[in-house]
Amino acid sequence: MSKEKFDRSKPHVNIGTIGHVDHGKTTLTAAITKVMAEAGGAEFQAYDQIDKAPEERARGITISTAHVEYETSNRHYAHVDCPGHADYVKNMITGAAQMDGAILVVSAADGPMPQTREHILLARQVGVPALCVFMNKVDQVDDEELLELVEMEIRELLSSYEFPGDDIPIVKGSALAALEDSDATIGSEAIKELMAAVDDYIPQPERPKDQPFLMPIEDVFSISGRGTVVTGRIERGIVNVGERSRLLV
């Protein structure tokens, strides 16, 4: 599905994946695009298409924020995949500041780790209004009681940072299983359950479309063949291709 085929009349939500390094944020992002693509709501983005920078591929981690888009039956989503490595927390903050809601990814095998805690804190500080949780890699844990303990630990951690830990949806699954079509129950079905939870739990943001266009600039890039490109989140109004806008410094 090309970008032109997305239904722009659907409500738009900025979403993202946050969590500890190697807990599966980018794998989950790729899995969501795969499952949504099978329903006609995305263009599948493989793992190595999301981790595009040479250093990311070499080290197997996400450094910069990456952007994909997809849609469910109810909404259109712009998804930012945030880096989990401690050295790149500035890039994570930039990504989180764009979000209307976030998916916290926690490995069932490890439980909450240092960047799990740090990302929850940063989400609270930059004003991410709501979180859903994907407990990833459940295929690596055979003990159901251990999964329950990890879930309890996640809920307690969320509550300690003033998120409603008892109410936040926690979906258990395996993003890799969804990518590899190896186990539908913990793979594609879990991804569908997660996106249903995101649709239901992440509130629809109010967007004043009738006001003048305003987009705070978060970063500036120089792209070969394109020139200077700015990025940011539109706070109000609508802009169309070819329209003139004013830069305020």
Does residue 118 sit in the same domain as residue 8?
A: yes
Q: Out of 12, 17, 22, 81, which one is annotated catalytic? A: 22
Of 72, 140, 76, the residue nearest 106 (C-alpha): 140
CATH code for position 171: 3.40.50.300
Q: Is 20 annotated as catalytic?
A: no
What is the residue range of 162's domain? 3-201
Q: Out of 76, 85, 110, 199, which one is annotated catalytic? A: 85
Does residue 180 sit in the same domain as residue 244?
A: no
**How far apart are the C-alpha atoms of 80 and 67, rounded to whole Å?**
5
Does residue 39 sit in the same domain as residue 77?
A: yes
Does residue 177 sit in the same domain as residue 214?
A: no
| Burial class (CB within 10 angstroms; exposed 0-12, middle 13-18, buried 19+) of 87 | exposed
Q: What's the pLDDT at 209?
A: 75
Q: What's the pLDDT at 91?
A: 52
2-16, 31-45, 119-133, range with the lowest pLDDT: 2-16
Tell me the range of 10-24, 104-118, 224-238 where mean pLDDT is highest: 104-118
Does residue 148 sit in the same domain as residue 239?
A: no
Average pLDDT along the chain: 83
210: Cβ–Cβ under 8 A, 6 or more apart, which residues?
237
Q: Out of 17, 26, 72, 94, which one is annotated catalytic? A: 26
Interval 175-213: pLDDT, tens: 999 999 999 999 999 999 999 999 999 999 887 777 888
Interval 93-136: pLDDT, tens: 555 566 889 999 999 999 999 889 988 998 898 888 999 999 99
Does residue 30 sit in the same domain as residue 150?
A: yes
Does residue 148 sit in the same domain as residue 82?
A: yes
Does residue 13 sit in the same domain as residue 124?
A: yes
Say whether pLDDT at 13 is over 50.
yes
Does residue 80 sit in the same domain as residue 26?
A: yes
Residues 212-228, mean pLDDT to the nearest whole number: 77
Q: Which residues make beta-bridge pairs with 230?
A: 220
131: Cβ–Cβ under 8 A, 6 or more apart, which residues?
101, 102, 103, 104, 120, 123, 158, 163, 168
Q: What's the pLDDT at 76?
A: 92
- 183, 201, 219 - which closes a domain: 201
Q: Out of 12, 25, 79, 119, which one is annotated catalytic? A: 25
b/e per residue, 30-65, with b = 16+ CB within 10 A?
bbbbbbbeeeebbbbbebeebbeeeebeeeebbebb
- Rg of the chain taking only CA atoms, in angstroms: 18
**How far apart are the C-alpha atoms of 39 and 80, rounded to whole Å?**
21
Q: Is 76 annotated as catalytic?
A: no
10-19, 165-174, 232-241, range with the lowest pLDDT: 232-241
76 versus 46: the higher-pLDDT residue is 76
Does residue 67 sit in the same domain as residue 188?
A: yes
Count structural domains, the chain: 2
Say whether pLDDT at 61 is over 60.
no
**How far apart are the C-alpha atoms of 238 and 69, rounded to whole Å?**
18
Does residue 127 sit in the same domain as residue 157?
A: yes
Does residue 132 sit in the same domain as residue 100?
A: yes
CATH code for position 239: 2.40.30.10
pLDDT band at 87 (very low <50, low <70, confident <90, very high): very low
